Amino acid sequence: MGSMKTIVIGSGGREHAIAWSLARSPLITEIVCIPGNGGTATESKCRNVGIAVSETSSVVEACRKELAGSPDGSFVVVGPEDPLAAGISDRLAEAGLRVVGPRMAGAALEASKDVAKRFMHKYGVACAASDTYDDANAAIARVREINGPVVVKADGLAAGKGVVVAPDADTAVRAIHDFMIDNTLGSAGCKVVIEEYLEGEEVSILAAVSVTPALAKAGKARIVPFVSARDHKRLKDGAEGPNTGGMGAIAPADGVDEAVLAAFRVEILEPTLQGLIAEGFDYRGFIFFGVMVTKVGPKLLEYNVRLGDPETQAVLPLMDFDFAEMCAAIIDGSLDSFPFAWKKGYVCAPVAVSRGYPGSYPKGLPMTIDAAAVSKAGAKVFIAGATMNQRVGGARSGDRAVMDGELVTSGGRVLAASAFGPTVDEARERAYAALKSVSFDGMFFRRDIGLPGAAVSKEM
């Protein structure tokens, strides 16, 4: 059918899931992953190009070359937040390319907590009360005054290390001291947001966004939410242990009923859309609403300007539409008439990590995946932190054949096994059956992804 070429920028599990979703579209003939990972290396229609995401100019140049002479509909999907915050979408657009991912101005909604909170307050988005401080003493005075649970957030991008949920003033003061005086996060901690502590259960709502001044004028600017999802941030079962980048996701999330969704639309989504329009942003891409479902309704914790990881690995397999067509609709501004539809059922996506994660962990460990067993379980393995070994096959290492194109671990979060089921229990059973056919030294995973309450920590 089609003959479209696409490019996916990023190297995580989210990007593997995006590439896999694109590969399933009959419109797409070729997917270039920059740099991709050991999963995209062998994914259908995919080819990796080894340029680091942080090398903005090289990435833009590679995209330009790869798409030169491609059919008009070809596009680039930017996966992670860092290149978006660095303005890669602006650069790609200047190079004449079609891109899924907001421009730098919109990306500041994730890159700066201060910008995000000002935006929320300005446009009346339901969220925690907050104030921003660039003076440590003033921030300390404020948390002493609150004298109870409070949340301290470093302003800048800090890879998940910039938020401290403090049960008391002393803990909050320590966080302020770390961020603003000891500069443990570098310039990301020069400003802090002091925020009201919210109690409840968190849910991730990913959404497609198509907003430009022209679309707004034509009444076609839209944010369309996907099915809800829930990440499980703590390392261990029962939401114990340290925070991580995410130990697994379930979609849809329980406890997100029609009433919550209706309140979310009215109090969070709609004012966000009006804000994006009022700011005059060119925001065509994805937005991720990190929402706390409190007793008095949903409140926004944060915006991410991209899809979530590992939520994407649970949400995209529920799509009953063509992902490539949706990307085109985002770019062309036709989300208002796009036929979104979702499978009835659940996807559970537990993540396997390397022993030691989220602290230091070994890399380069060989990994085996019994593909037949994974497919028998009805699951899909999305690779996150693993690369394809380039050693030539046939040699033996210890008691094990070293295969050409063997997977070796390269990150803390190594992979997710995503499985669909008509019920949560069936989705869980299939996902965990698939994980049994994966092995690498020191492999660790939570066993309770998707169970009720599994994402809620007893401590704060």
**Which run of H or E residues covers position 443?**
strand 443-445
Stretch that binds ligand AMP, among 11-19, 192-200, 269-277, 382-390 (CB under 6 A): 192-200
Is residue 313 a contact point for ligand GLY (CB under 6 A)? no
Residue 309 binds to ligand GLY (criterion: CB under 6 A): yes
Phi and psi torsions of 244, nearest 5°:
-130, -175
How many Å apart are CA 283 and CA 273, to the nearest integer?
A: 10
Binding residue (CB under 6 A) for ligand GLY from 10, 246, 350, 412? 246
Binding residue for ligand AMP, selected from 60, 151, 188, 419, defined by CB under 6 A: 151
Find the shortest distance in angstroms from Cβ 12 to ligand AMP.
Answer: 17
Smallest CA-to-CA distance from 414 within 448, 371, 445, 454 is with: 445
DSSP E strand stretches across 126-253:
130-133, 150-154, 163-166, 192-196, 201-211, 222-225, 230-231, 234-236, 240-243, 248-251
Q: Is residue 34 close enough to count as binding ligand AMP by CB under 6 A?
A: no
Q: Does 448 bind ligand AMP (CB under 6 A)?
A: no
By CB under 6 A, tell whether 301 contacts ligand AMP: yes
Alpha-carbon span 89 to 54, nearest angstrom = 13
- Sign of the alpha-carbon dihedral angle for 331, 261, 270, 456: negative
* Number of residues near ligand GLY (by CB under 6 A): 6
Partner interacting with residue 276 (select from ligand AMP, ligand GLY, none; CB below 5-8 Å by kind): none
Q: How far is the CB of 79 from ligand AMP (least distance, A)?
A: 18
Amino acid at position 245, single letter:
G
- Residue closer to ligand AMP by CB (options 114, 302) is 302
Residue from 156, 271, 275, 308 in contact with ligand GLY (CB under 6 A): 308
Task: Return the number of the residue (272 or 304) whose C-beta is nearest ligand GLY.
Answer: 304
The rounded distance, in Å, linking the Cα atoms of 369 and 407 is 9
**Closer Cβ to ligand GLY, 256 or 377, answer by number:** 256
Q: Is 304 in the site for ligand GLY (CB under 6 A)?
A: yes
By the rule CB under 6 A, 101 interacts with ligand GLY: no
Among 69, 62, 68, smallest CA distance to 48 is for 62
3-state helix, strand, coil in the chain (%, to 5): 35, 30, 35
**Binding site partner of 246, from ligand AMP, ligand GLY, none, Cβ cut-off 5-8 A by kind:** ligand GLY
The footprint of ligand AMP on residues 277-296 (CB under 6 A) is 290
Q: Which is nearer to ligand GLY, 304 or 437 (CB)?
A: 304
Cα 145–120–109 angle (5° rounding)?
Answer: 110
Which entry of ligand AMP, ligand GLY, none binds 311, CB below 5 to 8 A by partner kind?
ligand GLY
Residue 82 sits in the site that holds ligand AMP (CB under 6 A): no
As a whole number of angstroms, the distance between CA 178 and CA 181 comes to: 6
* Eight-state DSSP code of residue 155: S
- Please give the helix or strand (H or E) that residue 63 lies within, else none: helix 56-67
Binder of residue 163, out of ligand GLY, ligand AMP, none (CB less than 5 to 8 A by kind): ligand AMP
**Which sign does the torsion angle of CA 435, 436, 439, 443 carry?**
positive
309 makes contact, choosing from ligand GLY, ligand AMP, none, with CB < 5 to 8 Å by partner type, with ligand GLY
Least Å distance, CB 89 to ligand AMP, is 22
Helix (H/G/I), strand (E/B), else coil: 302: strand
CB-nearest residue to ligand GLY: 308
φ and ψ of 326, to 5 deg: -65, -40
Residue of 389, 415, 419 lying closest to 404 (CA atoms): 389
The count of other CB atoms within 10 Å of the CB of residue 395 is 10
* Binding-site string for ligand GLY from residue 211 to residue 240, where x marks contact by CB under 6 A and - marks none: --------------------x---------
Q: Give yes or no for residue 195 binding ligand AMP (CB under 6 A).
A: yes
Kindly determine how many residues on this chain lie close enough to bind ligand AMP according to the rule CB under 6 A. 13
Place of tokens 């994730």: 110
Q: Which residues bind ligand GLY (CB under 6 A)?
A: 231, 246, 304, 308-309, 311
